[in-house]
A and B are shown apart, each in its own frame.
Chain A
C-alpha cells in the first residue's frame, strides 16, 4: 500500500466517525430538549426515550437531573450540568460534557423533578449502569431493579448476567431478574424458580416482592408458593424484630444513661435536687454548635474532628458554670431541698432565656461528622453509626467516672464527704471545695451528654427540658447514690420502653413506664440498689 492510499483511507475513516458523532449529538440534543420542556408527564416520556437511546451521555445527564443539578441557562437556553462550588455553580455542557465556566442560580432555571420521576430515572439509570466498570455501581443498579420489579428490564439483566464475573453481584442480579420475572407473564415453572430464589433473601424487600406476587398472581400454584414464601420470611423477620427492639432499647437506654449520669453525681451523691441539670446538657449541645460554626468558617477540613474538639470544651463550659452555680447559689441552700429545687428551677429558666437571647429561639443545625452518618446492616438489623457511637460513648463516660471515683484522690474525698462530712472535715479535707468540684464534675458530664445529644435531638433552648424528668426517673429507679444502679436503671427503662412501644404506642408506653416506676418505688423506696451510708445532711 502506498502512503497516499493509507492517508486516504485514514481520512475517510475519520470523516465518517465525525459524521456519526454529529448525528449522535443532534439526536441527543433533541432528546434533551424534550427533557427540559413541558410538564412532568412529558418529562417522564423523555426520560424513558433518553434511557432507551443507549447514549453514553445519557447516564450522567439523568443522574444530574435526579439530583437537581440539570439547568437551562436563561440567556441562551443551553442545557448545563451545575455542580455546587462555593456560592457558584461550576458548569459543564450537558450534551458534549465540555466545561462551560461557572454561574449562579439566578442566571439558570433548574429542571424540576418530582418523586415519581426520580423513581423512573433510577430504574432507567439502573439498566444503563448494569454494565458499569465500577462494582458498587453495578450492585446498586441490581438492587434498584430488584425493588423496581419491572418486566421491561429483563433483557438488560440477561445481558449483564452473562457478562458478570463477581459472584455476589451475579447473585444480586439474578435476584433482580427473578423479581422482574415475577412481574412479567413468564411460564409457571420459571416463576416458581424465581420465587424460590427471592425467598432465600428473607428480608423486607423480598417480603414485599412475595406479597405482591401472592396478591396479583392468577396461577394458583404461583400464588400458593409466593404466599408460603412470604409466611416463612415473616417468621424469620419476627425473630429479627425482637433483636431489633433490644438494640433500640439499649440505644435509648444509653441516651438516658448519658443524661442521668451527671445527675447521679449531683443528686445521687450530693443530694442536691438540681432542676437546671437539663440546661447543662443544653449548654454542652450549644458548645458543640459554636465549635462547628468556628470550624465551618475557619478550618473546614477539621469538621470530622469537631465533636472530639467539642467534648473537652463542653465539659469545661458546663462544669465551670456548674461550679459557679454551686458557689453562688447552692452552697447557701444545703439542707433545704425545697429551696434548692425552686432556686435551680428558676435558674433553668434564666439559662434557657439567656441562650434564647444569644442564639435565637430557632433550632441550630449541628452536623454529623462522616464517621457518624449512615448505617450498616447486621443480618436484618439496621444499625446506624450515630446510635452505635452514642452507646459506646456512654459506656466510656460511665467507666471513666467509676475510675475517677475509685482510683483518684478527688474520688476518695468525694466519697468521704458523702459518707461522713464531719469526719472528713476533721481529717483535713476541705469539704466546701470538694462540694464545688463534685457539682462541677456532675455538670461537666451533663455537658458531655449534650455533645452526644446534639446528634440526635434539636439543638434548641428547650433541649434540656425533655431530659430532666427522665433523668430523675432513672436515678431514682436505679437507686440514689449508686452509679451501677443508674446504668442498670437506664438500660432497663430503655428496653422496657421499646418493647412496650409497638404494642401500646409511644404515649401509652410512656405512661405505663411511669406507672411501673411509681409502683416499684412503693415496694422499694430506695430504688434497685440501695446505698448504705448517708447523703449530705
Chain B
C-alpha cells in the first residue's frame, strides 16, 4: 500500500515536471474549454444536448486525471440562437476566458458568424454538425459530415436499392439546404436524371402547414416512376412535416423520404409508427451495436439520469473531436493554438461505430456513412454502411469549387488551393 502510494506520488511529480515545459506558473491551473451552444431560443432543442455531452466528456476526462496533469474546466456560454451573439460570445470566450479550444455552433449561419473571430484571435473551433462544405479554415476542425459523407451516398443508395428515378429536394430556406441541393442537383444531372424529374422546394424556418406541399409531393410521385424525397428540412418544421406525411398516407415503400437533419433526438417528439421505413443518412446511429457505443450510451444515460435518453450523430462528432483534441494536446505537450492545430492532423481516435476516425490535412475527418430506416420505437435500423469516407470540403460537382483543395500542412497551409492555376486563393472562402 505504502509503496504503491509512493509510486503514485512519484508519477504525479513526474507528470508535473513533464507538464512544466511551458510556464511553471500554469502548474495545476485548469485548462479552460469553451462550450458555445444555444441554450435558449429555436436551436435550444438540438444544442442543449451537445452542451450536456461536452460537460460529460470533460467530467470523464477529469476522472482520468485531465490532460498534461491539469484538470479541464468547462466555460459554458449561451448565444441564445442569435447569430450575431455567437460572434460576441466567441470573442468573450477567447479574449476574456482565454479558453484553449471551443466546441460549438450548430447552424451554418452561426459558424459563418464566428469564423472571422476565430481567425482573428487564432482560436480553435470544433464544429460537430453535418454541413454544406465549401469552406475550410485553419482554425476550424469539421467533425460533422461534408456533403460527400452524407448526401451523395444517400442518393446513391436510393438509386441502387430502390431504383428511384424522380427526386424531390425539399429544404428549409437557408444556406445549408440551398448549397446541398445545388450539389445534389449537379450530381443527379451527372447521373442522367432529367430536369423535369427534379422538384426543388423551400420552406421557411418553423413551417407548420405542410398540407399542400405534401400533396404536391404525392402528385409528383404518382407520375409512374419511383420517387423519393431528399429532405434538408431543419429543426422544428420536421415534426409537422412527418405528421402530415403520415396523415396523407404516404408510406415509405411508395415515396421514401431520406433526411439529413432528422436523428434520434428529433424523432423523440413523434409517434414513429406511420413513418417506419423512411430513411436518414448519418455517420452514427444509436442502434449501432458494438462495445464502444454501448459503453458510451450507458455513460450518457447515467450522466443524464435518464435511462431513455437518446444519443445522436452530432454527439458522436463531439466525442471524436474532443478525444482528438486531447490527443493533440498530449502530442503537442501544450495547449498553445498553433502547436495544437499542427498536431491535430493525422490524429486517429476510435469512433462509436467500431472504427477509427482520423483528422485529415483539410481539417475534415474520415467516417463511415450509414443509411438507416426509421423503426416503430424511434430508433433506426442500419440498412447500408460504407467504409471510411474522407470529408470533401470543396465539392467536385460545383463548377466554382471542383478545382480547389485544402491542405493545412506546412508548407502549403492553404484552405483553397487551386490545382489548375497552382495558386492559393481560388473562389469561395
**A residues at B contact (CB < 8 Å):** 40, 67-68, 112, 114-116, 118-119, 122, 147, 204-205, 207-209, 211-212, 215, 241, 244-245, 248, 251-252, 255, 352-353, 356, 361-365, 367-368, 373-375, 382, 384, 386-387, 456-462, 465-466, 498, 501-502, 505-507, 510
A505 pairs with B277, CB closer than 8 A:
no
B222 pairs with A68, CB closer than 8 A:
no
Please judge, given known A-B contacts A356-B40, A363-B236, A363-B269, whether A466 and B206 are in contact too, CB under 8 Å: yes
CA distance A506 to B212 in the complex (A): 9
Q: B271: CB under 8 A from chain A?
A: yes
Taking CB as reference atom, which chain B residue is nearest A497?
B209
CA distance A156 to B232 in the complex (A): 42
B269 pairs with A387, CB closer than 8 A:
no
Taking CB as reference atom, which chain A residue is nearest B228?
A115
B268 pairs with A365, CB closer than 8 A:
yes
A362 pairs with B212, CB closer than 8 A:
no
* Nearest CB of B to A449, in Å: 13
Which residues 240-287 of B sit at the A interface, judged by CB distance below 8 A? 240, 243, 247-249, 252-254, 256, 265-266, 268-271, 276-277, 279
> A112 to chain B: which residues have CB within 8 Å?
381, 383
Can you list 18 A-B pairs, Cβ within 8 angstroms, ordered by A? A68-B276, A115-B279, A116-B161, A116-B162, A118-B252, A118-B277, A363-B270, A365-B271, A457-B208, A460-B269, A462-B45, A465-B206, A466-B208, A505-B202, A506-B207, A506-B213, A507-B173, A507-B203
Contact for A507 among B202, B219, B268, B270, CB less than 8 A: B202
B252 pairs with A68, CB closer than 8 A:
no
* Nearest CB of B to A109, in Å: 10
Contact for A208 among B202, B213, B223, B266, CB less than 8 A: B223
B207 pairs with A384, CB closer than 8 A:
no
A115 pairs with B253, CB closer than 8 A:
yes
Q: B4: CB under 8 A from chain A?
A: no
Please judge, given known A-B contacts A245-B212, A458-B269, A498-B212, whether A115 and B162 are in contact too, CB under 8 Å: yes
B213 pairs with A501, CB closer than 8 A:
yes
Q: B301: CB under 8 A from chain A?
A: no
B383 pairs with A361, CB closer than 8 A:
no
B42 pairs with A502, CB closer than 8 A:
no
> B222 to chain A: which residues have CB within 8 Å?
204-205, 207-208
> B45 to chain A: which residues have CB within 8 Å?
361-363, 460, 462
Taking CB as reference atom, which chain B residue is nearest A205?
B222
Please judge, given known A-B contacts A116-B162, A362-B269, A510-B204, whether A40 and B247 are in contact too, CB under 8 Å: no
> A507 to chain B: which residues have CB within 8 Å?
173, 202-204
Q: B218: CB under 8 A from chain A?
A: yes
Contact for A506 among B202, B218, B239, B253, CB less than 8 A: B202
> A506 to chain B: which residues have CB within 8 Å?
201-204, 207, 213
Taking CB as reference atom, which chain A residue is nearest B81?
A462
B213 pairs with A114, CB closer than 8 A:
no
Q: What 17 additional pairs, Cβ within 8 angstroms, besides A68-B376, A248-B211?
A: A68-B375, A114-B383, A115-B253, A116-B253, A118-B252, A119-B253, A208-B223, A255-B209, A362-B48, A362-B265, A362-B268, A363-B239, A387-B247, A502-B216, A505-B201, A505-B202, A506-B207
Q: B419: CB under 8 A from chain A?
A: no
CA distance A122 to B276 in the complex (A): 14
Taking CB as reference atom, which chain B residue is nearest A500?
B212
B269 pairs with A252, CB closer than 8 A:
no
Please judge, given known A-B contacts A116-B161, A382-B249, whether A365 and B269 are in contact too, CB under 8 Å: yes
A114 pairs with B373, CB closer than 8 A:
yes
> A205 to chain B: which residues have CB within 8 Å?
222
B224 pairs with A212, CB closer than 8 A:
yes
CA distance A363 to B46 in the complex (A): 10
* Nearest CB of B to A215, in Å: 6
CA distance A353 to B40 in the complex (A): 7
Q: What range describes how many residues of B lie at the interface?
A: 35 or more
Taking CB as reference atom, which chain B residue is nearest A467?
B208
Q: B215: CB under 8 A from chain A?
A: yes
A384 pairs with B276, CB closer than 8 A:
no
> A361 to chain B: which residues have CB within 8 Å?
39, 44-45, 48
> B208 to chain A: which residues have CB within 8 Å?
456-458, 466
Please judge, given known A-B contacts A384-B247, A498-B212, A502-B212, whether A457 and B239 are in contact too, CB under 8 Å: yes
> B209 to chain A: which residues have CB within 8 Å?
248, 252, 255
CA distance A501 to B207 in the complex (A): 13
* Nearest CB of B to A325, in Å: 21
* Nearest CB of B to A308, in Å: 20
> A352 to chain B: which residues have CB within 8 Å?
40
Taking CB as reference atom, which chain B residue is nearest A213?
B224
CA distance A211 to B220 in the complex (A): 12
* Nearest CB of B to A355, in Å: 11
> A461 to chain B: which residues have CB within 8 Å?
44
A501 pairs with B212, CB closer than 8 A:
yes
Taking CB as reference atom, which chain A residue is nearest B274?
A373
CA distance A255 to B254 in the complex (A): 30
CA distance A248 to B208 in the complex (A): 13
* Nearest CB of B to A4, in Å: 59
B271 pairs with A367, CB closer than 8 A:
yes
A204 pairs with B218, CB closer than 8 A:
yes
A251 pairs with B269, CB closer than 8 A:
no
- The digit string for B161-181, where 1 denotes a CB below 8 A from any CB of A, is 110000000000100000000
A118 pairs with B383, CB closer than 8 A:
no
CA distance A225 to B222 in the complex (A): 19
A387 pairs with B211, CB closer than 8 A:
yes
B270 pairs with A365, CB closer than 8 A:
yes
* Nearest CB of A to B214, in Å: 10
B224 pairs with A356, CB closer than 8 A:
no
Taking CB as reference atom, which chain B residue is nearest A110?
B381
> A356 to chain B: which residues have CB within 8 Å?
40, 44
B206 pairs with A462, CB closer than 8 A:
yes
B247 pairs with A248, CB closer than 8 A:
no
Taking CB as reference atom, which chain A residue is nearest B43?
A361
Contact for B211 among A252, A364, A505, CB less than 8 A: A252
> A204 to chain B: which residues have CB within 8 Å?
218-219, 222
> A40 to chain B: which residues have CB within 8 Å?
383
CA distance A495 to B103 in the complex (A): 46
* Nearest CB of A to B157, in Å: 10
> A382 to chain B: which residues have CB within 8 Å?
215, 248-249
> B373 to chain A: which residues have CB within 8 Å?
114-115
B381 pairs with A458, CB closer than 8 A:
no
* Nearest CB of B to A428, in Å: 46
* Nearest CB of B to A465, in Å: 8
B236 pairs with A115, CB closer than 8 A:
no
Taking CB as reference atom, which chain A residue is nearest B382?
A112
B268 pairs with A363, CB closer than 8 A:
yes
CA distance A119 to B255 in the complex (A): 11
Taking CB as reference atom, which chain B residue is nearest A501?
B212
Taking CB as reference atom, which chain B residue is nearest A121?
B253
* Nearest CB of A to B47, in Å: 9
* Nearest CB of B to A297, in Å: 14
Taking CB as reference atom, which chain B residue is nearest A251?
B211
Please judge, given known A-B contacts A112-B381, A361-B45, A460-B236, whether A248 and B268 are in contact too, CB under 8 Å: no
> B173 to chain A: which residues have CB within 8 Å?
507
> A122 to chain B: which residues have CB within 8 Å?
253
* Nearest CB of B to A353, in Å: 6
Please judge, given known A-B contacts A362-B45, A456-B243, A501-B212, whether A375 and B277 are in contact too, CB under 8 Å: no
Contact for B161 among A114, A212, A462, CB less than 8 A: A114
CA distance A207 to B268 in the complex (A): 37
> A353 to chain B: which residues have CB within 8 Å?
40
Which of B207, B222, B254 is packed against the most chain A CB atoms within 10 Å? B222
Please judge, given known A-B contacts A115-B373, A211-B223, A215-B224, whether A248 and B269 are in contact too, CB under 8 Å: no
Taking CB as reference atom, which chain A residue is nearest B236?
A458
* Leading 7 A-B pairs by shortest Cβ distance: A363-B269, A212-B224, A211-B224, A204-B222, A361-B44, A384-B247, A506-B203
Taking CB as reference atom, which chain B residue is nearest A462?
B42
Taking CB as reference atom, which chain B residue is nearest A230?
B224
* Nearest CB of B to A223, in Å: 13
CA distance A368 to B239 in the complex (A): 14
